[in-house]
């Protein structure tokens, strides 16, 4: 009997020891948010990788192979369909709030983000976005303001003292009250080295606190779309690489927390620009792949989470009773709808497009319509009618969506492009559908049961033993 008790006790100690060992705390956390990224965006991107003659089929959506999958609800406190401010707040703080509220509850009281809590526990923090550094999603991790207070949000970015901040630019870098400092001055005052573009980062890396922005100092919008970007320009992948390098270097820290936002999946989906949205999802995926490469080097210490704040556009794969999809057509669109619109606008003003044949050639070069994608007579007649109305008769009413105004001809051509690929869109805004969730790495299993966006930071808190 005594022997039995001894053996049982030993077994109990071994089980307890193993349990303690397995309940590890991740040292490195990557929190990747595809703004506006739905299940359909992810699926279309994977279909494009498989059938779009893209890098010989070598690439894939890396997070589709992550072992933990879920779907999360995104609704705001006061709306079934959310916005990036309320959704960002839920993802950063674990609390539902009202639309347009960032890091504050419906009562306007400040909420605490997991990024700040981890900073206070001695972790390095990086906040990275392809949008403006003081737009809603990144802001939810450091600020407590209404969304339209971009200048004040920007100030809170510097106050956060996070180690690495990266984005396109500042939305509203100047104060309304001129006695207040300009944001660039404020960041320098707070100890940040401001690197403008990849070359400046290379020259100044190793600085204590870094703010990495696009080289274009006049920019107040998001980075140029991936599809329009020129070689050497700042992109999300570069920012993530720089962020990993900067944060991993800080040996005095316990580890790091990095938020990575693919902001322009949303910006491209508002105007229902499929190819641009897919290319943005590709860039986001490549950035997640950098985190995955890091995980492979530190598999027992790294946790990667991938999700979205909400779905944008109501993208569906299949439309109008058709089951036929042509993902390879995504290859043929060469510029974004926004760039096509600007091109048509300027050519209209200079009188360069003075015939339907010339117009058709420009559309074909930039979208693949006619050249690579068959267009029937009725479809061409519709585009031609739009040409006569808006270019010949100069009766141009622009299509207005949240972030853009498009030339009607660009809008018609890009809508036809989606139809030809075989996808549908239901809205120029967000939808209330569930969004995807994926995780891999240290303690990823603990995220198996997340089904609401607030569960994600709350589970991170449990894993990191934060009260």
Q: Provide the minimum distance between the beta carbon of 67 and Zn ion in the complex, in angstroms, as a whole number.
A: 30
Q: Provide the minimum distance between the beta carbon of 431 and Zn ion in the complex, in angstroms, as a whole number.
A: 11
Q: Which is nearer to Zn ion, 74 or 390 (CB)?
A: 74
Q: Which is nearer to Zn ion, 261 or 443 (CB)?
A: 261
Q: Which is nearer to Zn ion, 266 or 443 (CB)?
A: 266
Q: Which residue is nearest to Zn ion (CB)?
A: 266
**209 to 248: interface string for Zn ion, x by CB under 5 A:** ----------------------------------------
Q: Provide the minimum distance between the beta carbon of 137 and Zn ion in the complex, in angstroms, as a whole number.
A: 10
**Residue 266 interacts with Zn ion (CB under 5 A): yes or no:** yes
Q: Which is nearer to Zn ion, 34 or 255 (CB)?
A: 34
Site for Zn ion in 120-139 (CB under 5 A): none
Of 165-173, 205-213, 258-266, 333-341, which segment contacts Zn ion by CB under 5 A? 258-266
Q: Provide the minimum distance between the beta carbon of 304 and Zn ion in the complex, in angstroms, as a whole number.
A: 24
Q: Which is nearer to Zn ion, 266 or 280 (CB)?
A: 266
Q: For Zn ion, how many residues bind (rule: CB under 5 A)?
A: 1
Of 121-129, 265-273, 293-301, 371-379, which segment contacts Zn ion by CB under 5 A? 265-273
Q: Provide the minimum distance between the beta carbon of 219 and Zn ion in the complex, in angstroms, as a whole number.
A: 19
Print the SS3 string covering the chain. CHHHHHHHHHHHHHHHHHHHHHCCCCCEEEEEEEEECCHHHHHHHHHHHHHCCCHHHCCCCHHHHCCEEEEEECCECCECCCCHHHHHHHHHHCCCCCCCEECECCCCCECCCHHHHHHHCCCEEEEEECCCCCCHHHHCCCCCEECCCHHHHHHHHHHCCCCEEECCCCCCCCCCCCCCCCHHHHHHHCCEEEEECHHHHHHHCCCCEEEEECCCCCCCCCCCCCCCCCCCCCCHHHHHHHHHHHHHCCCCCCCEEEEEEECHHHHHHCCCCHHHHHHHHHHHHHHHHHHHHHHHHCCCCEEEEEEEEEEECCCEECECCECCCCHHHHHHCCCCHHHHHHHHHHHHHHCCCCCHHHHHHHHHHHHCECCCECCCHHHHHHHHHHHHHHHHCCCCCCEECCCCEECHHHHHHHHHHHHHHCEECCCCCEECCCEEEEEEECCHHHHCCCCECCHHHHHHHHHCCCC
Site for Zn ion in 173-202 (CB under 5 A): none
Site for Zn ion in 382-411 (CB under 5 A): none
Q: Provide the minimum distance between the beta carbon of 114 and Zn ion in the complex, in angstroms, as a whole number.
A: 23
Q: Which residues bind Zn ion (CB under 5 A)?
A: 266
């Amino acid at each position: 009997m005594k022997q039995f008790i001894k053996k049982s006790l030993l077994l109990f100690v071994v089980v307890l020891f193993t349990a303690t060992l397995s309940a590890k705390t991740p040292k490195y956390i990557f929190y990747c948010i595809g703004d506006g990224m739905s299940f359909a965006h992810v699926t279309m991107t994977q279909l494009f990788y498989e059938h779009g003659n893209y890098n010989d089929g070598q690439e894939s959506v890396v997070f589709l192979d992550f072992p933990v999958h879920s779907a999360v609800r995104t609704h705001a406190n006061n709306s079934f369909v959310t916005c990036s401010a309320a959704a960002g707040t839920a993802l950063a703080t674990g609390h539902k709030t009202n639309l347009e509220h960032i890091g504050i509850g419906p009562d306007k009281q400040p909420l605490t983000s997991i990024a700040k809590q981890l900073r206070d526990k001695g972790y390095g923090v990086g906040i990275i976005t392809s949008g403006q550094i003081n737009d809603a999603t990144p802001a939810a991790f450091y600020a407590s303001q209404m969304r339209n207070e971009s200048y004040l949000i920007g100030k809170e970015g510097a106050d956060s003292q996070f180690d690495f901040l990266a984005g396109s630019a500042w939305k509203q870098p100047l104060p309304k009250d001129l006695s207040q400092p300009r944001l660039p001055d404020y960041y320098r005052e707070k100890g940040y080295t401001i690197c403008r573009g990849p070359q400046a980062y290379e020259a100044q890396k190793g600085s204590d606190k870094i703010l990495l922005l696009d080289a274009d100092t006049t920019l107040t919008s998001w980075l140029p779309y991936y599809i329009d970007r020129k070689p050497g320009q700042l992109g999300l992948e570069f920012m993530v690489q720089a962020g990993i390098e900067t944060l991993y270097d800080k040996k005095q820290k316990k580890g790091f927390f990095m938020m990575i936002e693919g902001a322009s999946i949303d910006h491209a989906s508002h105007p229902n620009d499929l190819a641009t949205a897919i290319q943005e999802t590709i860039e986001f995926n490549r950035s997640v792949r950098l985190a995955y490469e890091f995980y492979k080097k530190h598999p027992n210490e790294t946790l990667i989470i991938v999700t979205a704040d909400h779905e944008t556009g109501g993208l569906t794969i299949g439309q109008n009773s058709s089951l036929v999809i042509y993902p390879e057509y995504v290859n043929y669109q060469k510029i974004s709808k926004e760039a096509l619109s600007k091109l048509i606008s300027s050519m209209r003003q200079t009188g360069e497009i003075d015939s339907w044949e010339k117009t058709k050639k420009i559309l074909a070069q930039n979208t693949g319509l006619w050249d690579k994608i068959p267009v029937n007579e009725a479809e061409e007649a519709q585009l031609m009618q739009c040409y006569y109305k808006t270019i010949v008769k100069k009766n141009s009413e622009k299509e207005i969506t949240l972030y853009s105004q498009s030339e009607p001809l660009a809008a018609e051509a890009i809508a036809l492009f989606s139809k030809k690929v075989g996808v549908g869109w239901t809205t120029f805004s967000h939808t209330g559908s569930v969004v995807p969730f994926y995780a891999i790495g240290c303690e990823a299993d603990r995220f198996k049961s997340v089904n609401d966006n607030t569960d994600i930071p709350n589970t991170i808190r449990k894993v990191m033993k934060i009260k």
